[in-house]
Amino acid sequence: MKKLNTSMNKVAALFCFTVITFINVNALNTKPFPKDFKFGVATAAYQIEGGWNEDGKGENIWDHLVHTNPTAVANNDTGDTACDSYHKYKEDVAMLKYLGVSHYRFSLSWTRLLPNGFANKVNQRGVQYYKNLIKELKDNGIQPLVTLYHWEMPQTLQELGGFLNNNFIDWFGDYAELCFKLFGDDVTNWLTFNEPGPICQHGYGLGDLAPLYKSPGIGEYICGKNLVLAHARAWHIYDDLFRSKQKGSVGIVIDSRWFEPETNKTEDIQAAEVMRHFVWGTYINPLINGDHSSIVKEKIAKRSKQQGFKRSRLPEFTEEEQKYLKGTLDIIGLNHYSTYLISAQKHPDPDAMGFYVDCEAVARQSDDWEKGGTDWMRVVPWGIRKLLKWIKHTFNNPKIMITENGFCDNKDKLLDDDRRINYIKTYLSNIRDAMDKDGVNVVGYTLWSLMDNFEWTLGYTQKFGIYHVDFNSPNRTRTKKKSADYYKKVIATRCLTDM
């Protein structure tokens, strides 16, 4: 009897948990967003510009990948022309103006400015392109929000090891300094790196994003160390030489899903927390508190020891580096799209290595969640509220800008994109709840993306835009989708409506 009761209790607990997890839908929050809340849209250079070798631009790792290994990308697509924003930036700004955004997040192509990656030779035509774009934005009352590195390592620097070479910290610092000098009188909001996770875990660990370097559990951690130190270098340069005059801020962009425990078992609850710390503790904790989160250090050190390594595969920061890193984040940029369910699980092979192995957890998504165009795109709006709340508590209420959030489908020219509207609406409603009811300090929202564009190894198969782009036409004609008008209305009224 006792046994039966216990298992019935377990069933009841599981049922409750499941209900809480899956029917976590709140009413639409229609309270206006604060007056100073910023609404914008985002893109990135390689994904939209094209003009890959025009006017003196040098080769970067994506140019190199698509030309030397075309099958690495769906349909052998390339960003050679992309949305042709190199020539059509005025049209892009007209679209932004129509939407009424306060800011536009875009990135600079390092090799358009410095063709060989080093700061000794500046390409004036590249400089002019960005000056023109920034002027066009400012003339239309739109603030630039500029990412310095959105995945476009100069190929010359990659050949020297890229993020695995600790000289990268100097190379990036020189590039950042040049950008602050050239554009900092007009650009006050800077973001150093877009998404350290994909850069390191996928670029240097799993090896499924450029530069396709496979070194799970070793290369990816070296990459992470050099990346955060390079961020700190740029922050210090800004702080020492530019801040007093330009009065801007320097942040980083982290991508994070929400990690929900798969069950209410202690080990799953702990595994979800470990997973959160693997994401936030490797990149954000060093910049706020000067070091990796202790749980991350402990787990990787333990596993490394068991595997016979003399020291942890996660390279430590020296005391001097810790001081240099601590407090070098003016704002957190958050890219968030979806949620995962986490359960505790040790890898069966004791010698296996890698970010996802070292955290001893597995992630999956529920089939009950609405699916978008890619495998990982599931619509789970409550996840963003939980994540924002977690960031607030873990990092002492930092300033957060949502730098990306958006929905992809894979149907070409789907102009009546009601599912995208629903995604934007329900995610924004949860963000509003997080601000309103949980006191999270969110200062703005940046929708990904202004228009359909090159989705990395998925080529043009995934459509994230609120404008359609005709990639079959040499003119790359842009056409407004229904979501563009929905977002325009949200921006104009500062309220979510049921349109």
| Distance between CA atoms of residues 322 and 202, nearest Å | 26
Among 192, 217, 455, 460, binds ligand NOJ (CB under 6 A): 455
- Smallest gap from residue 44 Cβ to ligand NOJ (A): 5
Strand 339-344 to 258-261 pairing:
parallel
- Smallest gap from residue 141 Cβ to ligand NOJ (A): 26
| Number of residues written out for the chain | 499
Question: For residue 294, how many C-alpha atoms fall within 13 Å in the half-sphere facing its CB?
Answer: 0
Alpha carbon 280 to its chain's center: 12
425 residue type, one letter: K
* CB nearer to ligand NOJ: pick between 195 and 268: 195
* CB nearer to ligand NOJ: pick between 317 and 464: 464
Interacting residues with ligand NOJ between 326 and 365 (CB under 6 A): 335
* CB nearer to ligand NOJ: pick between 51 and 372: 372
- Smallest gap from residue 163 Cβ to ligand NOJ (A): 17
| Integer CA distances (angstroms), 199 to 210, 269, 355, 442, in order | 8, 28, 13, 25
CB 314 within 8 A of CB 220: no
* CB nearer to ligand NOJ: pick between 47 and 226: 47
* CB nearer to ligand NOJ: pick between 464 and 487: 464
Among 317, 448, 467, 487, binds ligand NOJ (CB under 6 A): 448
Interacting residues with ligand NOJ between 34 and 93 (CB under 6 A): 44, 47
**Structural tokens at position 160:** 């020297």
Find the catalytic residue in 49, 59, 91, 404. Answer: 404
- Smallest gap from residue 121 Cβ to ligand NOJ (A): 28
Positive/negative CA dihedral, 68, 74, 80, 86: negative
CB 45 within 8 A of CB 153: no
Angle, to 10 degrees, between the axis of helix 124-139 and the axis of helix 168-183?
Answer: 50
Q: How many residues bind ligand NOJ (CB under 6 A)?
A: 9
Among 194, 312, 338, 429, binds ligand NOJ (CB under 6 A): 194
Strand 478-480 to 467-469 pairing:
antiparallel
Q: DSSP state, 232? A: H
Place of tokens 């009352």: 141
Selection from 160, 176, 178 nearest residue 121 by Cα: 178
- Smallest gap from residue 59 Cβ to ligand NOJ (A): 19
**Structural tokens at position 234:** 């740029």
CB 257 within 8 A of CB 340: yes
- Is 273 a catalytic site residue? no
Q: Strands, DSSP E only, in 108-177?
A: 143-149
- Is 404 a catalytic site residue? yes
* CB nearer to ligand NOJ: pick between 293 and 449: 449
- Smallest gap from residue 370 Cβ to ligand NOJ (A): 17
| Distance between CA atoms of residues 152 and 157, nearest Å | 11
- Smallest gap from residue 208 Cβ to ligand NOJ (A): 13
Place of tokens 């739109």: 142
* CB nearer to ligand NOJ: pick between 324 and 448: 448
- Smallest gap from residue 10 Cβ to ligand NOJ (A): 38
Reply yes or no: is the peptide bond before residue 211 cis, omega within 30 of 0. yes
Interacting residues with ligand NOJ between 368 and 407 (CB under 6 A): 404
- Smallest gap from residue 146 Cβ to ligand NOJ (A): 14
* CB nearer to ligand NOJ: pick between 299 and 481: 481
| Distance between CA atoms of residues 330 and 145, nearest Å | 14
Among 49, 59, 63, 195, binds ligand NOJ (CB under 6 A): 195
445 binds ligand NOJ (CB under 6 A): no
Find the catalytic residue in 195, 260, 321, 455. Answer: 195
Element (H, E) at 129: helix 124-139
Beta bridge partners of 42: 105, 448
| Distance between CA atoms of residues 314 and 44, nearest Å | 30
**Structural tokens at position 153:** 């390592």
* CB nearer to ligand NOJ: pick between 107 and 304: 107
Beta bridge partners of 107: 147
Q: Which residues are catalytic?
A: 195, 404
Query: Residues in the site for ligand NOJ, rule: CB under 6 A?
Result: 44, 47, 194-195, 335, 404, 448, 455, 464
